[in-house]
């Protein structure tokens, strides 16, 4: 559990990984934790909130999948790859974890490119891990 201030800081860190200036972008918010903030900051973006199940979403129709305070697991990686359009991004933030080489490998094993795994925020100590990969 983190304070609302730290949660806001972590959410803002995730928003920096949305593609800039793309009109008519469709973001799928796994767990529904970021939708309101995305709409506040980038009202042109269409946000669809979903529980942890991505299977009901149309294939290759989503520009970005975001998952706040979500563990990195094989189901999320595989299902996000299915719903993302080519060039789409998966952005995951886990508050409880630290960056590891295994997280990079997990993205790569599921076919993601341009993988980034880094500390989510410094406030003042490092908090969480932010992970991002793109569908080729």
65 contacts: CB under 8 Å, gap ≥ 6:
27, 28, 30, 54, 80, 83, 84, 88, 89, 90, 91
**Does the pLDDT value for residue 74 go beyond 90?**
yes
pLDDT (0 to 100) of residue 112: 98
Give pLDDT tens digits for 40-61.
Answer: 888 889 999 887 666 666 777 8
Q: Is 19 helix (H, G, I), strand (E, B) or coil?
A: coil
CATH 3.40.50.1260 for domain 4-134, yes or no, is no
Give pLDDT tens digits for 32-43.
Answer: 889 888 888 888
């Amino acid at each position: 559990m983190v304070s609302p201030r730290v949660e806001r800081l972590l959410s803002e860190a995730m928003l920096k990984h949305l593609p800039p200036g793309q009109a008519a972008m469709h973001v799928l918010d796994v767990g529904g934790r970021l939708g309101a903030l995305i709409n506040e900051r980038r009202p042109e973006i269409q946000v669809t909130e979903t529980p942890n199940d991505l299977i009901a979403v149309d294939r290759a129709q989503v520009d970005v999948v975001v998952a706040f305070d979500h563990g990195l697991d094989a189901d999320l990686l595989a299902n996000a790859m299915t719903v993302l359009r080519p060039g789409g991004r998966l952005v995951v933030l886990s508050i409880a974890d630290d960056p590891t080489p295994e997280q990079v490998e997990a993205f790569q094993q599921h076919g993601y490119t341009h993988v980034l795994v880094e500390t989510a925020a410094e406030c003042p100590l490092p908090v969480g891990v932010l992970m991002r990969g793109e569908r080729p």
